[in-house]
Amino acid sequence: MTQPALPHFPGDEITSIVRRFATMPSYGETLFTLWVAMTHLAGELDCMPMLFVTSPAPNCGKSTVLDLVERFAAKPLVGSNASAAALFRIIEQEAPTLILDEVDTYMKTDESIRGIINSGHTRRGAFVLRCDKSGEGEFSAKRFSTWCPKALGGIGHLPHTIEDRSLIIQMERKLPGEMSIEPLRQFHFFDATRERLATWAQAAGPALVESIKRGRPEMPAGLSNRAADNWEPLFVIAALAGGLWPALARGAVADYVKTISPNLSYGLELLNDLRDVFAKTNLEAMPTGTLVEMLIGDDARPWVECNHGKPMTGRTLAKMLKPYGIYPQVLWSDGSTIRGYQRAPFASVWERYLPKL
């Protein structure tokens, strides 16, 4: 059966508006437009990447981009902080587009919130189990949905599990000579464009379901499995939008891969930093204390706060290396023994898990 023609996709309107108020990286406007369109089709999807808007410092336009998400997304709900209990209840009740800014201040240390955010990447696993009090005052286990679009804003990196489930827009502070942008205000045309997007999405829903049933779209080479999962719904939407949008999506992916380096898990980051330490010192063995001092000596690395917000210790180091089969050993130093690590056991682990130098 032939699908009826869809209304005009207002993507050009959205990107033109975004360009007026935010200076994004080359891939950003396309990613933003397709992602906010995705929020209107969340009910038809099986995988839904988060949007993570990040910057290395304040005043880079991060919060403005989240403001723009609020203008165009379906059922936007903005918050700067929230408890875990409030999060899963509001998602269960309203299935909003959740917009959380300043997540770098609490997402790294609050494991309960991080678990809720992580669980909503695929529909199949988008729920949490919690004890809830009934009207009769008795507690029983209840399943709460965590399925909704989520846009996050923060400075720097978030834990690997969150970034791995996100499409990332990396903002930078404008140079003095770059094109000026307008301050964001409540202009009347936001509502009209958002309504046109919602109308398009309502008509596109059945076509999107049929497209998913026919099979996964062909994804560009160079994407990891998770990255391909994240981009896939945007590619389906681009195909439905037609015109230049499929080509724009492919161009955005190419620029994205060049711009966004993958955020390694803590374990892989540690292996990478230890490889650098051994290379710089050119030693075959090092005491645990020396390794830890060198790791936490760089304030820009996560080891200054990886131990529940405190610096790494020898015990933390041993715990993180244990899954890779690397353990501290007894070393000889100046006629006495000391615990530390030899370079040799790392060699095969570096080769197995890290990119070649």
pLDDT in tens, 174-229: 777 666 678 887 666 688 999 999 999 999 999 999 888 888 888 887 777 888 99
Would you state the pLDDT for residue 357? 65
- Contacts of residue 276, defined as CB under 8 A and 6 or more positions apart, other chains included, come to none
Q: What is the pLDDT of residue 135?
A: 64
Between 267 and 136, the higher pLDDT residue: 267
C-alpha pair distances (Å), 276 with each of 82, 159, 282: 39, 22, 10
Per-residue model confidence (pLDDT) at position 172: 86
What confidence score (pLDDT) does residue 31 get?
Answer: 98
Cα–Cα distance for residue pair 211/236, rounded to 1 Å: 7
- Enter the tokens of residue 45: 């999807």
By mean pLDDT, which of 8-22, 210-224, 308-322 is the weakest? 210-224
Cα dihedral sign, 102-106-109-115: negative
> Where does residue 303 rank: exposed (0-12), middle (13-18), buried (19+ CB within 10 A)?
buried
Let me know: does 88 contact 146? Beta carbons within 8 Å. yes
* Spatial separation of the C-alpha atoms in residues 40 and 329, rounded to whole Å: 56
The alpha carbon of residue 322 and the mean position of all alpha carbons in its chain are separated, in whole angstroms, by: 27
Across the range 88-92, mean pLDDT stands at 93
Q: What is the mean pLDDT of residues 104-126?
A: 87
Residue type, 301: R
CB 90 within 8 A of CB 118: no
CA 5 to each of CA 2, 207, 245, 335, 343: distance values in angstroms, whole numbers, following the listed order: 9, 10, 16, 83, 64
1 pLDDT tier (thresholds 50, 70, 90): very low
Calculate mean pLDDT across residues 333-349: 90
Q: Can you tell me the mean pLDDT for 316-332? A: 92
Helix (H, G, I), strand (E, B) or coil at 184: coil
On average, the pLDDT of the chain sits at 89
Beta bridge partners of 50: 166
**In the chain, where do the E strands start and end?**
50-55, 76-79, 97-100, 127-133, 139-145, 150-155, 166-170, 285-287, 329-333, 336-342
Do the beta carbons of residue 147 and residue 120 sit within 8 Å?
yes
Helix axis angle, 62-72 to 189-214, nearest 10°:
80
Q: Which domains does the chain have, with CATH numbers?
A: 11-259 (3.40.50.300), 266-353 (1.10.10)
Window from 64-68, 168-172, 268-272, 305-309 with minimum mean pLDDT: 305-309
